Amino acid sequence: MPDFRPNPLSRIPAVDKILVALAKEGGLPPLPQPLVTDLVRREIAEMRGRVMAGGDGVGEFEETVAYLRGRIEVLYRSRIHPVINGTGVCIHTNLGRSPLAPAVVEAVSRVGRFYNNLEFDLESGERGKRGGFLERCLALLCEAPAATISNNCAAALILILKHLANGERNEVIISRGELVEIGGGFRVPEIMAVSGAKLVEVGATNKTSLEDYRRAINPRTGMILKVHRSNFYIEGFIGEPATEELVALGEEHGLPVVEDLGSGAMVATDRLAPIPHEPTAAEVLKRGVDLVCVSGDKLCGGPQAGIIAGRADLVAGIKKEPFFRALRCDKLILTAMQETALAYLEADVGGARPDLPLLAMLAASVEDDLRPRGEALVARLGSSDTFDAGLVATIARCGGGTMPKAEIPSLALEIRPAKMKVPRLAGRLRRLPLPVIGYVDGDAFRLDLRTIFPEQDEALAAALLAVW
């Protein structure tokens, strides 16, 4: 007996047919055809899988085409492109951490576009030292005998561990209060494991004494590590030895003391904004530690990188590690960091604030800088029966896992939509060609002006007006 039941798979449209229909309708985002074809193929294969598993039926052809158009738009929006950050989190790891200065980006563009002297000595005409000029700048900035740079601070720590904790002496002593997760998969114990170092935990979460460190020292000890609590704080019954005491203990036993500082402040944060003082690399080195490592794209305000500064012999040794080659920065990052370091060194001479967007953002005054912009925005938006816009005092954050206690007084544009739920408004704004990212507070949507660039105000107003 022939089987006359309709085969549900036969209702799944052919890839070619869908592509023709999509092209005929037009208005697709400007994605290269191979990406579109690949997406349609994957979606159709998934659809087939669902049907074979006895799942969802297949809708009408037009429905399938509309659905796929939506998927193509989602794919297009997922490419890296600029957004407006209205979250009030200055170093937002999900939004690319520190924005770069225009002069930095211009230098990157010139170096990237043409040939350059990355590893070429213009004096001798022979092969030259990669990053030599930058290393000098960084050493000066960190007030260190020597400095170098790697892919990021996690890489910097791996390099330090590889160099100072290996073979017979691979034990690293660290306080239980510092076995932290920095976020995005950076856990100190895991970094240790990756680098082949053996973690020796001492003390308790809240208290570690100098004696705890001393008792853990043995012939297999390679180094003492201090990890700065950059993204959390502990309060109450707490205690730890001063860095100077750890340094003295290290000296007594011929052991290097290293501090993973992370946050990377290069100038006094308390002079920028009404926030606490975050230790700088130079300050930590003054306390006597042998090496310090910091991130380039947190409070330093530069590109993603890890700066290692301190004893010249150790820095030279780290640069000879085979891993150094694998974790080194490319010409674009080296250029971006070079220009960032130059901005600091130039400001140092005049005693001014380095000309970097992150520092300007932290230093912006609510009354002098943010309020006039906010008032102009509210006036530009006008009033309507679809929304209500006003200004509200807020707290902005440093972010990026730095200074969790720092509360920066700020100002936000607060929008109360009358005919739309707030999460829906937030979603519409996220899906604009220039996405606008804010946060929901009860029945209001907020855009913190501190993290929005003044030159984005007009685009922001236009976007808001377009959405309602």
Ligand X SMILES: *Cc1c(COP(=O)(O)O)cnc(C)c1O
Residue ranges binding ligand X (CB under 6 A): 152-154, 182, 186, 227-228, 230-231, 260, 262-263, 295, 306, 401
Task: Pick the closest to residue 268 from 347, 152, 156 (CA basis).
Answer: 347
Q: Looking at beta carbons only, is 97 or 319 nearer to ligand X?
A: 97
Instruction: Tell how strand 198-202 and strand 171-175 pair up.
Output: parallel
Q: Looking at beta carbons only, is 333 or 444 nearer to ligand X?
A: 333
Q: Looking at beta carbons only, is 279 or 354 nearer to ligand X?
A: 279
> If DSSP states are collapsed to H, E and C, what string results for 122-154?
CCCCEECCCCHHHHHHHHHHCCCCEEEEECCHH
- The minimum distance between CB 245 and ligand X, in angstroms, equals 20
Q: Looking at beta carbons only, is 227 or 398 nearer to ligand X?
A: 227
- The minimum distance between CB 170 and ligand X, in angstroms, equals 20
Q: Looking at beta carbons only, is 226 or 450 nearer to ligand X?
A: 226
- The minimum distance between CB 259 and ligand X, in angstroms, equals 9
Q: Looking at beta carbons only, is 37 or 231 nearer to ligand X?
A: 231
- The minimum distance between CB 405 and ligand X, in angstroms, equals 14
Phi, psi of 440 (to 5 degrees): -95, 135
- The minimum distance between CB 149 and ligand X, in angstroms, equals 11
Q: Looking at beta carbons only, is 374 or 401 nearer to ligand X?
A: 401
Residues 259 and 229: beta-carbon distance below 8 Å:
no
| Pairwise CA distance, residues 242 & 263, whole Å | 19
Where does residue 88 fall: left (phi above 0), alpha (psi -120 to 50 degrees), or beta otherwise? left
| Pairwise CA distance, residues 342 & 141, whole Å | 9
| Pairwise CA distance, residues 75 & 351, whole Å | 47
- The minimum distance between CB 382 and ligand X, in angstroms, equals 43
- The minimum distance between CB 20 and ligand X, in angstroms, equals 46
| Pairwise CA distance, residues 44 & 67, whole Å | 11
**Which residue lies nearest ligand X, judged by its C-beta?**
262
Instruction: Tell how strand 306-310 and strand 146-150 pair up.
Output: antiparallel
Q: Looking at beta carbons only, is 108 or 149 nearer to ligand X?
A: 149
- The minimum distance between CB 313 and ligand X, in angstroms, equals 23
Q: Looking at beta carbons only, is 230 or 456 nearer to ligand X?
A: 230
Residues 463 and 86: beta-carbon distance below 8 Å:
no
Residues 351 and 274: beta-carbon distance below 8 Å:
no
DSSP letter, residue 300: T
CA 251, distance to chain mean position in Å, is 35
- The minimum distance between CB 228 and ligand X, in angstroms, equals 5
| DSSP letter for each residue of 146-193 | EEEEESSHHHHHHHHHHHHSBTTB-EEEEEGGG--EEETTEEHHHHHH
